[in-house]
Amino acid sequence: MFEFEIKEKSQKTSARIGVLKTPHGEIETPVYMPVGTQATVKALTPEQIKETGAQIILSNTYHLYLRPGEEVVSGAGGLHSFMHWDKPILTDSGGFQVFSLATLRKLSEEGAEFQSHIDGSRHFITPEKAIQIEEALGADIIMAFDECAPYPCEYNTVKSAMDRTHRWAERCRKARTREDQALFGIVQGGTFADLRKASAQAIADMDFPGNAIGGLSVGEPKPLMYEMLNETVPLLPEGKPRYLMGVGTPDCLIEGVMRGVDMFDCVLQTRTARTGLALTSRGPVTIRNAVYSRDYEKLDAECGCYTCRNFSRAYLRHLVNTNEMLAGTLLTLHNISFTVQLMENIKEAIRADRLNEFRHEFYIKYGIEQ
């Protein structure tokens, strides 16, 4: 049910265009996946998400396990029918969320005991339990349960987390029972090149249908993240999709693709929209600022999304500053549409083998130092 085929390659970079086949449709990569943490991309209906051009969305196992519970979702026929989304879905294992609760959890070789951030109730998730929850949720792509070390972190602590991630990955692989879900392994290793290499090789050797790179974009400088990608990506199987977790700023998307990454997700697009920040081809726009009070131009002259086709900056500023719900919807529509279109532009540049030139031109317009 799962196939990944590379259609085109850049001659000057490690970028490639591929097609990932899933039970709920094909995904052309490289792809940005909007985040629908609690079985909803905040502020949008499924039809509006489709209008952005999104091919796949991501939901969160940790949050859905706590509310409403995987049994409720399974009883509805799985996530696709529960949230009325007929395209592919990816669920992460909840590992990052569990391990971000540093003061509320306790680790052992068996699993992670943690306290709910909602009501304080105690829970225990093992790799086997994580797979059981993800299988009940029914996404097309599911993730192994991993231990994500914080940044900064001492070498021995990162190595211990990496080794446990490998052991847990094997347990996840053995626990898996559904053939209609693709289980991805996750590379860890923090910001230590030797650990990244060791983890990439270990996860690659487990022969998952796809491989993710975790533990980055957690506070480290971007150049250091790129350095870790340089060490990691070449060791992952070329014929399988590579997924960089939690990364979605425009510059990081371009840099990731140039290094051979195929899949990305990030909450930036939705979270910033709810604060009144818009991503545009000329850089981020804080639309609540007074300078836009009589600006009747559209948000982004190069964008053809619903928001840009119909509303001015002045109107959007009015909505944001009066706390109207529509502000979040219109800006979320735009931010996701902008990012999806950026990925399409990247693919066009790969086909023309001018990704380096595209990067240079985009950085100048967006206001990013090179």
What's the pLDDT at 242?
99
Type of residue found at 233: V
> What does the alpha-carbon distance between residue 174 and residue 87 come to, in Å, rounded to a whole number?
27
Which listed residue (140, 146, 262, 265) is catalytic? 265
User: Tens digits of per-residue pLDDT, 70-125?
Assistant: 999 999 999 999 999 999 999 999 878 877 776 778 889 999 998 888 999 999 99
The alpha carbon of residue 88 and the mean position of all alpha carbons in its chain are separated, in whole angstroms, by 14
Q: Tokens 């086909």 identify what position?
A: 351
What's the pLDDT at 129?
96
Give the Å distances, CA to CA, from 242 to 255, 308, 350.
Answer: 14, 32, 17
Type of residue found at 313: R
Q: In the numeric block, which tokens belong to residue 17? A: 């265009």
Q: In the numeric block, which tokens belong to residue 261? A: 């990454």
Q: Which of 202, 191, 198, 183 is nearest to 243 (CA)?
A: 183
Q: Tokens 């996750």 identify what position?
A: 186
Which numeric CATH code is attached to 3-265? 3.20.20.105
The alpha helices in 176-249, defined as continuous H runs, are: 193-205, 222-232
To which H or E segment does residue 71 belong?
Answer: helix 70-75
Give the Å distances, CA to CA, from 261 to 75, 207, 223, 285.
Answer: 35, 18, 16, 28
Check residue 276 and report its DSSP letter: T
Secondary structure of residue 5 in the 3-state scheme: strand
What's the pLDDT at 304?
97
What's the pLDDT at 146?
95
Whole-prediction pTM value? Answer: 0.97
Q: DSSP secondary structure string, 75-109?
A: HTTSHHHHTT--S-EEEE-SHHHHHH-GGGEEE-S
What's the pLDDT at 281?
97
Domain with CATH 3.20.20.105 in the chain: 3-265
Burial grade of 189 (CB within 10 A; 0-12, 13-18, 19 or more):
buried
Q: DSSP secondary structure string, 104-153?
A: GEEE-SS-EEEE-TTT--EEEE-HHHHHHHHHHHT-SEEE-------SS-
Q: Is 92 a catalytic residue?
A: yes
What's the pLDDT at 25?
98
> What does the alpha-carbon distance between residue 130 and residue 132 come to, in Å, rounded to a whole number?
5
> What does the alpha-carbon distance between residue 360 and residue 297 come to, in Å, rounded to a whole number?
27
Neighbours of 50 (CB within 10 A): 14
> What does the alpha-carbon distance between residue 274 and residue 325 come to, in Å, rounded to a whole number?
9
Q: Which long-range contacts (CB under 8 A, 24 or more apart) does 352-356 make?
A: 353/10, 353/11, 353/12, 355/10, 355/12, 355/13, 355/15, 355/254, 355/257, 355/258, 356/12, 356/13, 356/258
Question: Mutual orientation of helices 193-205 and 155-175 as an angle, nearest 10°?
Answer: 10
Which listed residue (86, 92, 180, 353) is catalytic? 92
Q: Is 194 a catalytic residue?
A: no
Neighbours of 57 (CB within 10 A): 25
Which residues of the chain carry a pLDDT beneath 50?
none
